[in-house]
Amino acid sequence: MKIIYTDSLVIGGGLAGLRVAIASKQRGYDTIVLSQIPAKRSHSAAAQGGMQASLGACIKGEGDNEDVHFADTVKGSDWGCDQDVARMFVNTAPKAIRQLCAWGVPWSRVRKGDRQVIINGEKVTITEKNEAHGLISSRDFGGTKKWRTCYTSDGTGHTMLYAMDNKAIQLDIPVHERKEAIALIQEEGVCYGAIVRDLVTGDLIAYMAKATTIATGGYGRLYAVSTNAVISEGIGAAIALETGVAPLGNMEAVQFHPTAIVPVGILTTEGCRGDGGLLLDKDGHRFMPEYEPEKKELASRDVVSRRMTEHMRKGKGVSSPYGDHLWLDITLLGREHIEKNLREVKEICDYFLGIDAAEEYIPVRPTQHYSMGGIRTKHTGESTELAGLFSAGEAACWDMHGFNRLGGNSVAETVVAGMIVGEYVADYCKENCLNVSTKTVDRAMKKQENMIADLINRDAGENPFELKKEMQQIMMDKVGIFRNGDDLTKAVDELKVLNRRAKNIALRNRISSSNPELVEAIRVPKMIKLAQCVAYGAQLRTESRGAHAREDYPERNDRDWLNRTLATWKEEDADLPEMNYEPLDVMKMEMPPASRGYGVDNIVPHPDTEKRVEEIETVKQENPDADRFEIQEVINPIDIPAKFTGRNERVGRGFK
């Protein structure tokens, strides 16, 4: 048996994984990163729009700070997030962006003086301050009070990932490419690494580690059409689920992005609307102001996606052989702006639609985009149930996004979580030794060997590509933007059947080395289990919160549902996950539940909400001289690695 030992094993070479690896390596621990693909090709590279951090250098970001970012994030989550974590996040984001700046990201900078921008469909001149000249600039994004999204043209993720991977190369961190973790090694509630398949030779290797971090990105490809990379299949989350111990959190919280191109589902960034682009219907009419008079096109993502769907249901969509769509108009931004700040968008329209986005409208429709759910962790990033297993980035439910994440908050999460969780991973490496019986490793290895042998030896059975297609269609049709009890019940039942069928996959190409059909056969049963967590969670959650919108339960029900869904798969042969719920404690919230300010208010209040509002008021009255930091310290004290506790400086304001 081939065994490789390390201190810190990081599964995933995207932004989150690389940042965790850098942290543990810098603390002196032997670190290995595993990735299905070369690290720089990870899906993080596709983020175009930007990263949120409250630097407040650009004039439209004036007055921004951690508190404003916190409020936007909590509201955006529809109060479903973990407010401690959201707090840790907003306080650290400015540091993360400044560190990336030192590591080489060429962030777009503020240029002093006048410039023309488009706001609410009108040309407006804004004047940038002299003293902000050359600092990191920011643009407008949905659901944010200030212009807070920092960017490099529209290649933000690309430049962040390149800087991060280059840093990892500088630190001599090995990235083992074309390797896929297919199971975790665990004994009595502790994780000791993973069983990994070499995608070229087909060899199985046991990677043994003190700490194992899963940073494998989202599970968008459970859906037939998604903006995600084709490898965003949730395998990291699935192998955690398959331990039977580690729970997944809020899997039903799936985000749909308003503007993916039709039919292929490639994203055009929110930056299009942030920079002034408009949504139009078949009559060329701008409809969003009628639904959301205040934020219009820049309401939170989940809201815009639902409004678009509603509008199409009223017959206002543009017909096409691929179903209805709407238009995204960026022509009003002018060619110069588009060719500089929205170039990727222009390229995509050019290559995939054969249109010139500076002259023509772009056909768009809401499309699966982001997975809020994932491996449930504590604020340290460690699994709540399986010691030694950590998770960061889109794969995790660290839970700063609750039921809807804001644009620009995700790449920000990857690097901030990477910094913070990386420190806790290093602490764990320091405090623990690799103490596992060889029997356990043997058993874990044997199990995977047998699974693969069964696949190769089975003469007849199910086609993995077919099963995947069926699963993806069920998710599209029945677990989409708007959900209802009947469809969800059907989805849960149909997925159960697929789960059973997936136990009987047979291959046409019966070799164990590099073999795409075998890869599929190993992944599909895992993906079906995840799909079951999503569908079953959605069926049970009889309320609407953030991206989880139930037509039969339109109210946000804080009284009964202010909690986090936890899915575990205890018995291997079970045909459904076990669901539990972790309450969110209103009495600990820095920001007690309130309205998000979209559409009509439709909230069943939590009995503690009023009490907590009063309590916070009292704290403020009793401490009339306290500044915002001191107040936060009292109402939401957080535990954060000492290196990241300093206050953040802003131009013109110092450290206030």
Partner 1 sequence: MCGQAVKEKQETQDKQDIQERARTLTFEILRYNPQVKGETPKMKTYQVKEAPGMTIFIALNEIREYQDPSLQFDFVCRAGICGSCGMVINGAPGLACRTLTANYPDGVIKLLPLPGFELIGDLSVNTGKVFRAMSERVESWIHDKHADNVDLDKLEETMDPDTADEIYELERCVECGVCLAACATKRMRDDFLGAAGFMRLARYAVDPRDKRSDEEFYDIIGDDDGVFGCMTLLGCEDYCPKDLPHQTRIAYLRRKMAFAKRS
Ligand X SMILES: Cc1cc2nc3c(=O)[nH]c(=O)nc-3n(C[C@H](O)[C@H](O)[C@H](O)COP(=O)(O)OP(=O)(O)OC[C@H]3O[C@@H](n4cnc5c(N)ncnc54)[C@H](O)[C@@H]3O)c2cc1C
Phi-psi label, residue 187: left if phi above 0, alpha if psi -120 to 50, beta otherwise? beta
- Determine if 202 is a binding residue for partner 1 (CB under 8 A): yes
Query: Residues 320 to 379: which contact partner 1 by CB under 8 A?
Result: 320-321, 323, 340, 344, 347-348, 351-354
Residue whose CB is less far from ligand X, 418 or 592: 418
Residues 357-376 that bind ligand X (CB under 6 A): 369-370
127-156: which residues touch partner 1 (CB under 8 A)? 133-137, 152-153, 155
CB of 509 to partner 1, least distance (A): 4
Residues contacting residue 403 through CB under 8 Å, at least 6 positions apart: 77, 78, 80, 250, 253, 302, 372, 545, 546, 547, 548
Answer yes or no whether residue 45 interacts with partner 1 by CB under 8 A: yes
The candidate with the shortest Cα–Cα distance to 474, out of 457, 460, 493, is 493
The reply to whether 642 sits near partner 1 by the rule CB under 8 A is no
Contact 301, 257 (CB under 8 A): yes
| Stretch near partner 1 under the rule CB under 8 A, chosen from 90-98, 567-575, 605-613, 629-637 | 90-98
Burial zone of 188 (CB within 10 Å; 0-12 exposed, 13-18 middle, 19+ buried): exposed
- Confirm if 558 and 541 have CB atoms less than 8 A apart: no
CB of 38 vs partner 1, minimal distance in Å:
3
DSSP letter for each residue of 160-228: HHHHHHHHHHHTT--EEESEEEEEEEEETTEEEEEEEEETTT--EEEEEEEEEEE-----GGGSSSBSS
Catalytic residue among 43, 273, 550, 596: 273
Q: Which of 6, 8, 24, 44 binds ligand X (CB under 6 A)?
A: 44
Residue type, 196: V
Q: Which of 411, 416, 420, 421 is the binder for ligand X (CB under 6 A)?
A: 411
Chain centroid to Cα 407, Å, comes to 10
| Residue tagged active-site, from 257, 401, 405, 541 | 257
Please state whether 244 falls in left (phi above 0), alpha (psi between -120 and 50) or beta. Answer: left
Is residue 440 classed exposed, middle or buried when 0-12, 13-18 and 19+ CB atoms within 10 A define those classes? middle
Residues 165-184 that bind ligand X (CB under 6 A): 179-181
Query: Which of partner 1, ligand X, none does 111 bind, CB closer than 5 to 8 A by kind?
Result: partner 1
Which of the ranges 30-38, 200-208, 376-384, 504-512 carries the binding residues for ligand X, by CB under 6 A? 30-38
Q: Among residues 117, 118, 126, 169, which is the contact residue for partner 1, using CB under 8 A?
A: 169
Residue 15 interacts, among ligand X, partner 1, none and using kind-specific CB cut-offs from 5 to 8 Å, with ligand X
Q: Among 581, 575, 611, which residue's Cα sits nearest to residue 593?
A: 611
Question: Under rule CB under 6 A, which residues in 235-274 are in contact with ligand X?
Answer: 235-236, 267, 269
Does residue 108 bind partner 1 (CB under 8 A)?
yes
| Residue among 127, 489, 649, 656 that touches partner 1 (CB under 8 A) | 649
Q: How many helices (H) and strands (E) does the chain have?
A: 18, 24
Please say which residue, 38 or 637, places its beta carbon nearer to partner 1. Answer: 38
- Is residue 563 near partner 1 by the rule CB under 8 A? no
Half-sphere exposure of 473 (CA within 13 A, CB side): 8
DSSP letter at 267 equals B
If binding is defined by CB under 8 A, does position 270 make contact with partner 1?
no
CB of 619 to ligand X, least distance (A): 33
408 binds, among ligand X, partner 1, none (CB under 5 to 8 A by kind): ligand X
* Residue 633: closest CA among 587, 586, 590: 590
How many chain residues bind partner 1 (CB under 8 A)?
86
Only segment of 3-11, 251-259, 425-433, 507-515 that touches partner 1 (CB under 8 A): 507-515
Residue-wise burial string across 84-109, b where 16 or more C-beta atoms lie within 10 A, e elsewhere: bbbbbbbbbbbbbbbbbeeeebebbe
273 labelled catalytic = yes
559 flagged as catalytic: no
Beta strands in 409-505 (DSSP E): 482-483
Q: Give the catalytic positions in this structure.
A: 257, 273
> What does the binding site for ligand X look like in residue numbers (CB under 6 A)?
11-17, 34-37, 39, 42-44, 46-51, 156-157, 179-181, 215-217, 227-228, 231-232, 235-236, 267, 269, 369-370, 393-395, 407-412, 414
